[in-house]
Amino acid sequence: MEVVVAVETVLLALLVLLVAGLLRSHAEILRRLGPPDEVEGSLPEPPPVVTTRAPADITGTTLEGDAVKVSLGAAAPSTLVAFLTSGCAVCGNFWDDMRRGRHVQHLDRDMRLVVVTKDTSHESPSKLERLRPDDVPVVMSSAAWDSHQVPAAPYFVYVEGGLVQGEGSATTWKQIASLMRDAEHDARYAGGDERTDRIDEVLEASGIGPGHPSLYPGEERPQ
């Protein structure tokens, strides 16, 4: 019996040494490979790209049934398109604020505000007539909802220079103002290279090119 115990003890000791050797070997392999973020061929995440798109003009009818078209091209003024319904509670707050003129304190005075609802297959003109503000045009156009891919109301699209600069949902005019400020900031960031090219063109037209002395006042001109 003592012999059997001694043999088992020796075998257990050998097994422990074997496992320890395997662990050391595995650790050495991992050390040589390095951490996952140092593996050759891994690339950092690309920075987000600011994109814009050309919006479709809004065509539909007024609440009186007259055909109307709202141009959103490059020559059109800056426009905030509000996609609203007569049924949702949040939309009701926007309707009330517009009737009371509360929206103007959050929007640029030169900005055009247009409300777009769905057509008579989804909305009642008489109900919209009770909701509409006096100084904001209301266009009934389900096609505009489709072309702008409006997911749900309320939804807002900010157009400037013939391009959609920002869009999204909001529950207050303060949030909309923040959306537009972010859109303007992103547009300036995205247009940095274009503005640089325009500056270069103006300088070149004035006879000022790379190395011109006027570009290095008080400094030695690079050769």
Listed by start position, the domains of the chain span 2-36, 58-193
Residue 159: C-alpha distances to residues 8, 165, 183, 207 (Å) = 82, 6, 10, 37
The rounded Cα 133 to chain-centroid distance in angstroms is 29
- pLDDT, average across residues 197-202: 52
pLDDT of residue 53: 81
Which of the pair, 40 or 61, is modelled with greater confidence? 61
Alpha carbon distance 102, 91 (integer Å): 14
Indicate if the pLDDT at residue 196 is higher than 70: no
* Percent of the chain's residues with pLDDT above 70: 59
Q: Among the listed ranges 22-36, 65-79, 138-152, 166-180, which one has the minimum average pLDDT value?
A: 22-36
84-125 per-position pLDDT tens digit? 999 999 999 999 999 999 998 888 878 999 999 999 999 999
- pLDDT, average across residues 210-223: 53
Bridge partners, residue 81, by sequence: 114, 157
Sheet holding 163-168, edge to edge: 67-70, 58-61, 138-140, 112-117, 79-83, 155-160, 163-168
Which of the pair, 158 or 50, is modelled with greater confidence? 158
Task: Name the residue among 157, 158, 177, 169 with its Cα closest to residue 102.
Answer: 177
Q: 58-193 has which fold? A: Glutaredoxin (3.40.30)
Q: Among the listed ranges 23-27, 67-71, 108-112, 139-143, which one has the minimum average pLDDT value?
A: 23-27
Indicate if the pLDDT at residue 77 is higher than 80: yes
